[in-house]
Structure 1
Amino acid sequence: MSVIAGTDEPVEKVLQRLKSDPARGLTDAEAQSRLARDGRNELPPPPKPSALKRFFNQFANPIVLTLLVAAVIALINGATQDTSGPFLVRFGDAIAIFLIVALNAVLGYYQEQRAEAALDALQKMQTPSARVRRDDKVVVLNAVELVAGDILEIEAGDAVPADARLLQTINLATEESALTGESVPVGKDARGQVPADAPLGDRANMLFVGSNVVRGKGRALVVATGTRTELGKLSELIRGAGGDRVTPLEQKLDEFGKRILLTCLGLSVLLFARGMWKGDRSWHELLLEAVSLAVAAIPEGLPAITTITLALGMQRMAKRGAIVRKLAAVETLGAATVICSDKTGTLTQNEMTVTRIHCGRRSYEVTGVGYDPRGSIVGDSGDIVDTPGKPLRHLLQIVALCNNAELDIDDNGKWCAIGDPTEAALLTLSAKGGLPKESVLPTHQLLKELPFDSDRKRMTILTLDAKGREVVHTKGSADVLLPLCTYFEDEDGIREMTAADRENIERELGRMSEQQLRVLAVARRILGKRPDSSPVSGPSFVDSMPAILPHPIELEESLTFVGLVGMIDPPRPGVKEAVAACARAQVRAVMITGDHKLTAIAIARELGLWDEGALALTGAELEKLSPEELEKRVEHVRVFARVTAEQKLRIVRAFKNLGHVVAMTGDGVNDAPALREAHIGVAMGKNGTDVARQAADMVIADDNFATIVEAVREGRAIYRNIQKFIFFLLSANAGLLVTVFVASFLDVPPLTPLMILWINLVTNGLPALALGVDPPDPTQMNEPPRKTNTGLLRTREYVGIVFVGLWMGGAALLTYFWPWNHGIGGAARVEERAAAFTLLALSPLLHALSCRSATASIAALKPKVSVPLALAIVLSAAIHSVAVFVPALRPVFRTYLMTGAEWLILFLLSASIVPGVELMKLVQRGGVGGRTLGPISRRSTES
């Protein structure tokens, strides 16, 4: 059963409908019955693919599937050959292909498993508990055992365990930023009447799971649990958003693989059909020749090297605090053109901080950020206030006394707030001024308290001070409190407030408001000494029980104005620099927040998000726009304020419809649907919700926005390196393809599939991998994002592939007609094939030196030679020599022991590719008189 109370219903009807007694609660028997009927109070875990499905997903790649087809053909061909031949000779080709496919699958599976394990560790959480009335007793239960009809007892510091209708409230306020994006606590009132269609943030008579109680206490009736809560509804919305997303890299690799597949199949069929038409050879030989051509056309190392490159990038990101859940998502941020960022907790610290004071006709700046009491109050002349004067001292006393929050140190040694963040910020201020709450409490005895409420917009306490005087301390909204003040305090004492005083206060209030500070006024009133009172001599403040005042207006009149306090939720350290880096990289940062429009604009200005011509839209304004109208305006909007989860989805979709690659950052439950819809969702791991982390592709473990910029940098470097080794592998394969295809028409022995696989995987694999970890170009963050509607390679690269293929292939074919003198009975074409095999193994190793840049000369690169690439070249050459010098392997690879002169000839032919490619680059740069593109000027050619 699912019974959710309407906020506009009288609470008596809700109690009657749920058959609950607010004094006694449910019986244990009834609670167990409802638990069995409705289920546990928890959200279902996100579905995860089985280990078997995740493993087989690694094969869902056109190149891998083509390799499997080639392996099957090689297997059939080996089985139909002379069974007396050596096993490795017959099945070596098939075994080699199957091994590389399996290696690729294992690597991909392992890395994704590691990412999930890291994320699971990050999402460890304690099971929440709840105080519940059962059988006329208050008991503490695991929150998952709550049912509709339970009566909750809540107070400051509690996490709300279920959606509940309030029955009683005493100065109750909750922090709902995870649900609404609003960082300011929301006052709650059990007596409030709320329309049925009121937004989530305006439902003052309701509590919602996912929020926290920051002050006061109350009693509430559970009306929804599990998936029936507002958080549960959002989780359903998350599951419906985004679907199975495909990253830009996955799209391009898929399209690229399909083109390679069609090319190699077409050429193989052509070669097989030609042989069958001639009819001078058996179908076994023709099939082997077709397989050789297919293997030559397919860059077998591409899936494995791509996987390894992405895996290494994933590990580098993890060291910087960015946990990526899917390999192909590693480079997606590098293509991002828009980053939609939540404000609270992502761009800002979610820690209210007092930054400015106006007191006694003087203004003060307050240093320090957050709830750490280390900081200073600095006068307008730049001097640190060590001994505050009377007005400032009274202000610090008032904000410490008129306060129900506490400061504490968490397990990580960081100061945190217990209670209302605004009151915690005031406690921090009093500590910075040398008057912490602990030193003020012993000198005052609490007599009465008027809690803050949304109607009065102020809090007042009455205390007995050390002189035996009754003193009223008040803090509240400046526009409400200022009219109640008739006196003014400065360094000369207390006097009647003049029109000039009031004008000066309002002018300072305007200045603070322009800075989008949240401003509170502070006032006091000395009622005089009670005849029966004695000075306070102990810490009786906390021991006394305040009475409820029947006529608060008698205290809150004829007040003495003491000062103004301005506070703000400050930006995170390093965020401004990160936003500037995004701007240089031509990545647009857009703030999406549930906060007020003016506050959001002020933060945007401070962070550098706001520029000339920028617009801000509220959720109400956005709701009036059609999808087409939103798409017309969204390009100029830098701030979206007071938006709902559904509206965040609209924003992301509008950017996507305009062709943008969208990254969405966030930490709240309300961010999760948009995280799922974006090309890549980036959740906060430290203060973020579990729902947001489950919906995201990437989790920032340290909640640092600057880590996102590092991820953008890493993503761009990874994509560029992928382009490098793809060009390298395809150009080397082009040489193989030319050699095999032309050799088949010249009726000379073509390279065997095992020879081709050896070149592709063993000798070419290491240089390709070294190119995949090439150091990033330091100028890449000054370039615009790459266009996602273009292929992995451009026309210039394809021209280069053809050029290199013809050059290498021509050099290899030359070995078939070179007058070798190997002393084995004349020009045996088998030995000439072995020479071509060695040339096609060595030539790509030297060609790799030119592949570090598509346009820049080797001489212009810095460093001249990459150490990993140099080691890879030397190691690959050494590995290939094993196939030539080890006698036992010569029959397998059809090689022979060459002379020193033959090695020299092959080396010179292999090395000729380097000046050949340099000449090609020179022509592409515009000839000798053209502009040389060094490593600083590669944006237009390599992005």
Structure 2
Amino acid sequence: MSEAYYRKTPQQALEAQQASAGGLADQEARSRLEKYGPNKLSEGKKKSVLQIFLEQFKDLLVVILIVAALISAVSENVESTIVIFAVLILNAVLGTVQYLKAEKSLESLKAMSSPSAKVLRGGVRVEIPSADVVPGDIVLLEAGDMVVADGRVLENFSLKVNESSLTGESEGVDKMAEAITAEQVALGDQKNMVFSGSLVTYGRATVLVTATGMDTELGKIAALMNQTQQRKTPLQQSLDSFSAKLAIVIMAICAVVFALSIFRTGMGVLDSLMFAVALAVAAIPEALSSIVTIVLAMGTQKMARQNAIIKDLKAVESLGSVSVICSDKTGTLTQNKMTPQKLYADGSLLEGEELDLVNDVQRLLLKAALLASDATTNEETGTAIGDPTEVALVMLGDRLGIDEEAYRAQHPRLGELAFDSDRKLMSTLHDIDGVPTLFTKGAIDVLLDRSKWLLTREGKVEMTPQRKEEIARTNMELSMEGLRVLAFAYKELDTVRPLTLEDESEFTFIGLISMIDPPRPEAIQAVADAKRGGIRTIMITGDHKVTATAIARQLGIFQDGDEAVSGVELDEMTDADLDERLAKISVYARVSPEHKIRIVNAWQRRGNIVSMTGDGVNDAPALKKADIGVAMGITGTEVSKDAASMILADDNFATIVKAVVNGRSVYENIRNAIQFLLSGNTAGILCVLYASLMALPVPFQPVHLLFINLLTDSMPAIAIGMEPARRGLLDRKPRDPKAPILDRPLLSRIGGQGLLIAVATMVAFYLGYQGGDAMLASTMAFATLTLARLFHGFNCRGAESIFHLKFSSNKYSVLAFFAGVVLLLAVLFVPGLKGLFLVSPAFSLSRLGQVVLLAVLPTLIIQLVKLVAGGKHTKE
């Protein structure tokens, strides 16, 4: 940004405004929009649909399938070639559609969160979309507005801006319409500038836009954020490792089978190649990537209904591994609204509900609070405009049925000294019963030093050191409870006149009003649930350490023996010191964006999967660095939403815990689906290997195995992915991200169940091969393997027996079973399909009865084992 913008005098700026006839003309605005582009942050170069489609073929297993299709083509097996390529293209189309759907959803979310702006165009005040704001526009800001571009303050009426989205500081910043020197610019003084992403909390102003889009301070942070690399999720890593190992094993076994076919059975090269192709197709879980994608997509839909919007499908399963949640306090763990708590007046400490208007001191305290504030509330709509602290003061009057606007109309403001962060005071002048009275609110230490008297029910008494000490002690007690405290005083003037800073002295001290951003009730339970599930919750906030610790204790985050650390203390620690104390620190206060990244890094060094919440631009780098970045949907900035993996539509910590439960459930369902697919494929591999070793004809044609893997297998696998979350998911510790998805217990089940299905299949093969009819034997084996895998879908729904899980709890598994049976019967008995799938003409209804009996046997054995074991299988 040019230094000239900072140093331009108000007169020069106003002349520029006048020269533009009260703002840009429409034609000039359009030309500037073409020159500078829309006022939005760059989203980087988007991939074309073709790029996304081609990326679906990068997987090594897909390459092996393409090779298998080419071998089928060389072997003049046209049907298999067509089916394999059709399935690969279908899978790629599905992946492309899922990607584009996620992108479209994100665009809709951004459009919903895009604010509008009030500008002067040709001397007329108009409201336009923020994307149409250009440098040179005159923007009109009022309390409650979002600043949509960087700009120079031309006219200022007590403007106060919350820049927490950029700085992380929750305190508002006072702005001015004055020129500043080059030295002030060098020192970082920006009091005559407003920045995109900030929120106007008080006053109003006219602003000349100096930068938009990526040229803003917010845009610079967005550009830095793009340099941060995202980490692969545990499931990505596990599936990548599994795919690579499986590909090597498949290639080795195929080579062995190819050699055996030539040298042991005397097959020709092409026939041997077909045998190897059959094995490759049997071994490769073609539908695995699609099934995982579909299960994750269904998980995201369920989470969206619970206010957790997932941007990246792969992030769903990572939620199940989360062991640390670093959460912002305001709005996530708390309600994001200051509410009045205890009051101190006339030597008594009382609850806000106990305020007695009969008591002269308490009545004057409320009068000072309402008159020395500008916030307004609407009880009907539940909305409020103004500084959160002042909103809390107005709420105090609401509780007693006092309308702040009517009250202020009775005592109009005759003068004002706006709040200044240096003197920490705000004063307003009013006529109270014919006496010009100055009401002042501010920091307790400042007002105590300037107070000469103390108001009591007997009247004014001298402010002695002992009385000061008592008030200071009360303030400390309130602060230790996590309360923010404001002090109030008044001073009677001789006449109504312009106010000066010298008037803020020799006050009569009235009392104190404390307030708090209260914890969300559901957050307290959510923190307890997370702890039960082995998840550590860490509070990271810009608030003072004492206040943050008190809130954390109420939430159950801070326990006896825990530590709270400020940003300054964190700077003094080496990485080794932080690693040593990390497990004990539950609260980080007054932290910077760099601190947040450092905290996330420290937990990741310990091998933890870390979730980080945030809403500001300053949170974006840490959100992207975390394994699961969580942005706020209501208060979050566009940059934070871009950086995050998940967006909370309700800004509620409890939603994160619900998402973790769903993430664990999704991972369980994916494991069960993988068990189903691989155990069925194992059966196919064992059958082909057995036939090769025993010099038998090929038990399956490639088209048979593709039909099983991609049609009759896909539906039960998807149904398994829709299994509802089981009770007790939060009674387990988070899954070790380093643990392979195919651990020893799961591999044992895959091998054992695959062997059972293979035995039943080969028995069917021999029954059909009794007369030497290889085609009938192949048909019997194909039908038995298909039906046995359809029955096997019920076995893989969970560790418990189907009698415990109940058929009714997942109706999709029943529908998938019957749909698979209908498809199988169509292939076996519909004339056109019989030829395509090489079904023997000798296959009859009596043969079908043999197939049904053999196919159901593995499932009966597996269910009996589950009943005996009581469903106590090790799942992790």
Q: TM-score, normalised by structure 2?
A: 0.89
1:64 to 57, 62, 65: 62
1:413-451: CA deviations, max 9, x gaps?
743333322222212222222222133224324332222
Would the aligned equivalents of 1:681 and 1:697 in 2 still touch at CA under 8 Å? yes
- Once the two structures are aligned, what percentage of the paired residues are identical? 39
Give the 3 Å change call, closer, same or farther, for CA 777–217 of structure 1 in structure 2.
closer
**Corresponding position of 2:232:** 246
Equivalent-residue separation in structure 1 for 2:797 and 2:365 (angstroms): 65
Residue type at the aligned position of 1:635: A
For residues 92-491 of structure 1, what are the structure 2 equivalents within 5 Å? 92-124=79-111, 125=113, 128-129=116-117, 156-164=143-151, 171-188=158-175, 204=191, 206-217=193-204, 225-243=212-230, 245-277=231-263, 280-366=266-352, 377-378=353-354, 388-408=358-378, 414-465=381-432, 467-491=433-457
Residue type at the aligned position of 1:686: I
SS of the equivalent of 1:59 reads coil
More helix by share: 2
For residues 772-811 of structure 1, what are the structure 2 equivalents within 5 Å? 772-811=721-760
1:484-513: CA deviations, max 9, x gaps?
334444455555556665454333222211
**Corresponding position of 2:498:** 548
Deviation at residue 64 of structure 1 after TM alignment: 3.1
Segment drifting more, 782-791 vs 655-664: 655-664
Give the 3 Å change call, closer, same or farther, for CA 226–802 of structure 1 in structure 2.
closer
Deviation at residue 620 of structure 1 after TM alignment: 2.6
Deviation at residue 738 of structure 1 after TM alignment: 0.9
1:719-740: CA deviations, max 9, x gaps?
1011111111111111111111
Would the aligned equivalents of 2:159 and 2:175 in 1 still touch at CA under 8 Å? yes
Equivalent-residue separation in structure 1 for 2:708 and 2:36 (angstroms): 63
Equivalent-residue separation in structure 1 for 2:420 and 2:141 (angstroms): 18
Give the 3 Å change call, closer, same or farther, for CA 933–675 of structure 1 in structure 2.
farther
**Corresponding position of 1:509:** 475
Aligned length: 864
Give the 3 Å change call, closer, same or farther, for CA 769–388 of structure 1 in structure 2.
farther
Deviation at residue 840 of structure 1 after TM alignment: 1.1
Consecutive unaligned residues of structure 2, counting only runs of 5 or more, are none
For residues 401-800 of structure 1, what are the structure 2 equivalents within 5 Å? 401-408=371-378, 414-465=381-432, 467-491=433-457, 493-496=459-462, 501-527=467-493, 548-550=498-500, 552-554=501-503, 556-559=505-508, 561-750=509-698, 751-800=700-749
**Corresponding position of 1:538:** none
Give the 3 Å change call, closer, same or farther, for CA 196–777 of structure 1 in structure 2.
farther
**Corresponding position of 1:371:** none
Equivalent-residue separation in structure 2 for 1:835 and 1:693 (angstroms): 55
Deviation at residue 523 of structure 1 after TM alignment: 2.2
Would the aligned equivalents of 1:174 and 1:215 in 2 still touch at CA under 8 Å? yes
1:890 to 834, 853, 860: 834
Would the aligned equivalents of 1:177 and 1:344 in 2 still touch at CA under 8 Å? no
Equivalent-residue separation in structure 2 for 1:95 and 1:138 (angstroms): 66
Segment drifting more, 451-460 vs 628-637: 628-637
Equivalent-residue separation in structure 2 for 1:843 and 1:41 (angstroms): 59
Equivalent-residue separation in structure 2 for 1:629 and 1:558 (angstroms): 49
Equivalent-residue separation in structure 1 for 2:741 and 2:830 (angstroms): 40
Deviation at residue 240 of structure 1 after TM alignment: 0.4
1:843 to 788, 791, 795: 788
Equivalent-residue separation in structure 2 for 1:5 and 1:632 (angstroms): 48
SS of the equivalent of 2:441 reads strand
1:878 aligns with 2:865: no
Deviation at residue 519 of structure 1 after TM alignment: 0.6
Consecutive unaligned residues of structure 1, counting only runs of 5 or more, are 81-89, 367-376, 380-384, 531-545, 923-927
Segment drifting more, 149-158 vs 471-480: 149-158
**Corresponding position of 1:853:** 798
Would the aligned equivalents of 2:147 and 2:199 in 1 still touch at CA under 8 Å? yes
1:845-896: CA deviations, max 9, x gaps?
3333332334x45555467974332332233223212222334433333234
**Corresponding position of 2:8:** 15
Equivalent-residue separation in structure 1 for 2:182 and 2:612 (angstroms): 32
Give the 3 Å change call, closer, same or farther, for CA 275–654 of structure 1 in structure 2.
same
Give the 3 Å change call, closer, same or farther, for CA 595–53 of structure 1 in structure 2.
farther
Equivalent-residue separation in structure 2 for 1:23 and 1:325 (angstroms): 45
Would the aligned equivalents of 2:79 and 2:703 in 1 still touch at CA under 8 Å? yes
SS of the equivalent of 1:728 reads helix
Would the aligned equivalents of 1:883 and 1:893 in 2 still touch at CA under 8 Å? no
Give the 3 Å change call, closer, same or farther, for CA 378–283 of structure 1 in structure 2.
farther
Give the 3 Å change call, closer, same or farther, for CA 518–671 of structure 1 in structure 2.
same
**Corresponding position of 1:3:** 2
Give the 3 Å change call, closer, same or farther, for CA 277–197 of structure 1 in structure 2.
farther
Segment drifting more, 615-624 vs 682-691: 615-624
Give the 3 Å change call, closer, same or farther, for CA 492–192 of structure 1 in structure 2.
farther
Would the aligned equivalents of 2:807 and 2:814 in 1 still touch at CA under 8 Å? no
SS of the equivalent of 2:15 reads coil
Would the aligned equivalents of 1:103 and 1:304 in 2 still touch at CA under 8 Å? no
Deviation at residue 167 of structure 1 after TM alignment: 7.5
Would the aligned equivalents of 1:321 and 1:700 in 2 still touch at CA under 8 Å? yes
Equivalent-residue separation in structure 1 for 2:440 and 2:481 (angstroms): 24
SS of the equivalent of 2:42 reads coil
Equivalent-residue separation in structure 1 for 2:468 and 2:171 (angstroms): 28
Deviation at residue 295 of structure 1 after TM alignment: 0.6
Residue type at the aligned position of 2:15: R
Deviation at residue 715 of structure 1 after TM alignment: 1.0
Equivalent-residue separation in structure 1 for 2:82 and 2:816 (angstroms): 24
Residue type at the aligned position of 1:875: A
Give the 3 Å change call, closer, same or farther, for CA 285–593 of structure 1 in structure 2.
same
Equivalent-residue separation in structure 1 for 2:704 and 2:39 (angstroms): 62
Deviation at residue 468 of structure 1 after TM alignment: 2.0
1:917 aligns with 2:857: no
Give the 3 Å change call, closer, same or farther, for CA 599–25 of structure 1 in structure 2.
farther
Give the 3 Å change call, closer, same or farther, for CA 92–773 of structure 1 in structure 2.
same
SS of the equivalent of 2:330 reads helix
**Corresponding position of 1:543:** none
1:546-576: CA deviations, max 9, x gaps?
96313x44464241x3221001223345222
1:689-715: CA deviations, max 9, x gaps?
111112222222222222222211111
1:812 to 736, 756, 761: 761
What is the aligned-residue RMSD (CA, Å)? 3.5
Residue type at the aligned position of 2:639: V
Equivalent-residue separation in structure 2 for 1:819 and 1:208 (angstroms): 79
Residue type at the aligned position of 2:16: G
Segment drifting more, 826-835 vs 423-432: 826-835
Would the aligned equivalents of 2:340 and 2:515 in 1 still touch at CA under 8 Å? yes
Deviation at residue 899 of structure 1 after TM alignment: 5.5
Q: TM-score, normalised by structure 1?
A: 0.83
For residues 75-94 of structure 1, what are the structure 2 equivalents within 5 Å? 75-77=73-75, 80=76, 90-94=77-81
Residue type at the aligned position of 2:236: E
Give the 3 Å change call, closer, same or farther, for CA 760–153 of structure 1 in structure 2.
closer
